[in-house]
Amino acid sequence: MPSVQRRNDQSTDIQGADVISNGYQFMHEPIGDYGIWNGQFQLSGDPFPEGWELLTTGTVARDTGGWAGNYCLKGGNAGMGTGGYAHTLRYFPVNDTERDYYISCVAKGSTANTLYNMGAICYDAAKAVTAIIWTLAAPETAPGVAWVRRQRKIGPNGDVAWPANTRYCRPIWGLQTDQALTGEYIWIDDCQFHQLEMTYSPQIRLMDGIVSETGSTTYKDAAYTLYPATAITLTLEEPGYLWFSYMLSTYCDAAAAYASSIRAYIDGAQQLQQVRVCSPAASYWIPVAITGRSTAAYAIGNHTIDLRVYRVAGTTITCFAMEGVAWYTREN
């Protein structure tokens, strides 16, 4: 009797032995065998892309023009109504009280109003459905007509929590989810899902930048003057809040009620954060810390944070040994 192998341990179909070493059992997946199989839809199947089940109220099907590679998944309806859903065939084991899980994709719509959502079908230990949870804005989000990434966490520290007694899940995407739209479509690609690795810090910094200056810079005019070594440019992948923290020392050549003021700027606009530095005597080096967060979220793209120094007329201010860091956090 020839050997047989299951190509997917959640499938009841027994397949013949693989001719070459390209079956599921040979495929590496990220982070301890977690990850969505065929998350970029490059592998076709019959009747669905490999590793996926499609539930259609309109049309959900593999399409060309992918974000990575040639293929992606398209959902919508030529008439009025939704397109349907796509979920993985694979059941992912879940710890609902101690671990967080990452879900992500890139998406674009046929118009600025086209909507989609991503989440998970939740199962108990017997793999009976207990709930479907969604991670994006209630009830869904519009990515616009260009590819945009959305990334969310599910779990006790996540954007949405697991229902009690969740032991398995299957990630799911709703593709064109607005019942009132007509002739509109959503495309998704690069779908990801995995258990988040444990870290020592509970804060995730999506992007950061660091600057330092071991020497000194002297200011002799009374206007706010750019401290050139402090500029940090961050590229936001999603709308988010900018955070910054700077440490430096200042020195004034004469005693003054406040020898200087230091203010943070974002994209050339003053922030509320301002530090006034007093100089009780000319010989004092004074440590300065300036830390803050933008009062509003900034759009996707490049943004620059810098410090500017103001000195009282008739005094000379020197800034020395500056170190700064900036980062952003996703808009809630």
The pLDDT tens digits for 260-285 are 889 999 999 998 878 888 777 777 88
Output the pLDDT for position 138: 65
The mean per-residue pLDDT over the stretch 130-147 comes to 87
User: Which one-letter DSSP state was computed for residue 267?
Assistant: T
All domains of the chain in start order, with CATH: 4-195 (2.60.120.260), 207-330 (2.60.120.1340)
Most confident of 38-47, 76-85, 202-211: 76-85
For the purposes of burial, counting CB atoms within 10 Å of the CB of 204, is it exposed (0-12), middle (13-18) or buried (19 or more)? middle
The mean per-residue pLDDT over the stretch 59-73 comes to 95
Q: Over 70: is that where the pLDDT of 155 sits?
A: yes
User: Which one-letter DSSP state was computed for residue 300?
Assistant: S
Q: How confident is the model at residue 331 (pLDDT cuts 50, 70, 90)?
A: confident
Residues 6+ away with beta carbon under 8 Å from 206: 237, 238, 240, 327, 328, 329, 330
Output the pLDDT for position 207: 65
The mean per-residue pLDDT over the stretch 213-222 comes to 87
Q: Over 70: is that where the pLDDT of 38 sits?
A: yes
Residues 100-122 pLDDT 10s: 999 999 999 999 999 999 999 99
The mean per-residue pLDDT over the stretch 310-324 comes to 88
Output the pLDDT for position 199: 53
Output the pLDDT for position 3: 41
DSSP bridge pairs for 310: 261
Output the pLDDT for position 186: 97
| Mean pLDDT for all residues in the chain | 84
CA–CA distance, 81 with 307 (Å, rounded to integer): 51
Q: How confident is the model at residue 55 (pLDDT cuts 50, 70, 90)?
A: very high
Least confident window among 73-77, 205-209, 212-216: 205-209
